[in-house]
Structures are given as C-alpha cells and as structure tokens.
C-alpha cells in the first residue's frame, strides 16, 4: 500500500511538472504579458495603439518587452507625446516586435533583426544580450504565438 501511495504521489508530481510548460504556452503574447503583472504600461499602450488584436493573432512574433520599470525611465513628456500621436506610438511599439519566433539561442547568432516597424534593431552579445541599448533581462518566455524577451529599457526607432 505504501508503494502504491508513493507511486501515485510521484505520478501526480510528474503531471504537474510536465503540464506547467504546456499550460504556459496556451496563452498568447498579450495574455502572457498581462498575466506577468509587470507589463501594465506596455499593455495599456498596445491597447491605445490598436495592436492588441495583432499580438493576439497567429504570429509567430518575437517581442522585446519593456517592463513597467523600463517605461518609468522614459521622460513623462516623451511618453505623453507618444500617447497623443497614435502613429508614432504604433511605430515605437512595433519597433519592439520581430516577425517569427526568435529564441535566445537564435538571437545570440544575430547582429541585427528587422522589426515589424521596418527598421532593424542592433544586437550586441559582448556582455550579455543587448537590443539597441536595452539589456535582455529574461529570455525565452514561450507563448502560443511566439516568444517574449524582457528588456530593461524602451527602444526607439529613428524618426
């Protein structure tokens, strides 16, 4: 009886351990970011720019996602100006998105990546991974329609 209980407990634990990654991948990029709790500014701006439906779409997409702390570093006047100019806001946000699912191992092989906005971000792997001047602080957050790499700064296209 003791062995049966141990086997049952082991199987239950294995089910939890192996089910967790699959469950994480059932959420799309937007739902994953919202669920993380530290992308509230990004989520609001995606809504304001009309990009939520796109990033909930089939993809796949790679998103270099700035945290709320990253957005807090942007001067308030700059952020206010972006929120008033939907075209510029959309350009800034789509500059954080690359078409396709580019995992960290693939990012490490690149010198640049073309964004959905049209311009390319530079990738530097000398001291960790940097996208333009933003450091990747967490990589490979798998989503049902792509991947999120968390960055510590907002990156801006040339305008």
Confidence of residue 159 (pLDDT cuts 50, 70, 90): confident
Q: What is the pLDDT of residue 18?
A: 33
134 in a structural domain: yes
pLDDT in tens, 101-149: 999 999 999 999 999 999 999 999 998 999 999 999 999 999 999 999 9
Average pLDDT over residues 91-95: 96
- Domain limits for position 58: 27-151
Report yes or no on 58 lying in a domain.
Answer: yes
Instruction: Tell me if 21 is assigned to some domain.
Output: no
pLDDT at position 129: 94
Distance CA 73, CA 154 (A): 8
Number of domains in the chain: 1
Q: Vertex 137, ends 140 and 59: CA angle to 5°?
A: 35
**pLDDT for residue 11 is more than 60:** no
Domain membership of residue 18 (yes or no) is: no
């Amino acid at each position: 009886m003791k062995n049966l209980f141990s086997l049952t407990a082991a199987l239950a634990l294995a089910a939890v351990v192996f089910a967790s990654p699959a469950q994480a991948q059932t959420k799309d990029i937007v739902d994953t970011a919202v669920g993380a709790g530290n992308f509230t500014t990004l989520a609001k701006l995606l809504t304001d720019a009309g990009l939520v439906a796109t990033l909930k779409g089939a993809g796949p997409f790679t998103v270099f996602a700035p945290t709320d702390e990253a957005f807090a570093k942007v001067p308030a006047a700059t952020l206010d100006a972006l929120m008033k100019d939907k075209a510029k806001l959309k350009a800034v946000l789509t500059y954080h998105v690359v078409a396709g699912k580019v995992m960290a191992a693939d990012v490490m092989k690149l010198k640049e990546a073309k964004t959905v906005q049209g311009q390319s971000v530079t990738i530097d792997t000398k001291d960790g991974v940097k996208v333009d001047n933003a450091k990747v602080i967490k990589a490979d957050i798998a989503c049902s329609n792509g991947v999120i790499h968390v960055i510590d700064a907002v990156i801006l296209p040339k305008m």
